[in-house]
Amino acid sequence: MIEVGGTLPEAVFSVLQNGEMKNPNTGTLFSDKKVVVFAVPGAFTPTCSAAHLPGFVTLADKIKAKGVDEIICISVNDAFVMDAWGKSHNASELTMLADGNGAFTQSIGLDMDTDAFGGVRSIRYSMIVDDGVVSVLNVEEPGQFEVSDAETILKQL
């Protein structure tokens, strides 16, 4: 599993921006920036939709006021699902990033196999990334939502 001080591995993601599919890579997203990242097991799932994403939407301005260039939500879903989920929660201040095949999630060791539920998914976590290097990492225990929330990240900035 990636640790504090570790550099994010190279990966390609998908995101819909203004109706156009883009495929940014790790370098484009994280080089020379301070980025808050949070990951969820799945878009439109109960805890993710009721608490995790809404917390970051509500606190986006306060988080960015602490010198954060971008707030990224990652899920092992496709870009169309991530876009729809973001729109349904007014997440215009966030980048809704799809790790469609789970390659990034697996490469940082924060994946879990949910079997018939959905296959490979992300463990719930949040992190602060400075110029591609992880400076803070909050990983949830299975079934928990206690340390990866927006309030915790705001306090850590």
Catalytic residues: 48
**Tally of CB atoms within 10 A around 144:** 11
**Tally of CB atoms within 10 A around 51:** 12
Tokens matching residue 44: 């439109």
Taking Cα atoms as reference points, which of 55, 23, 30, 27 lies closest to residue 124?
55
Torsion of CA 24, 38, 108, 132, to 10 degrees: 60
Determine the 3-state secondary structure of 128 from DSSP. Answer: strand
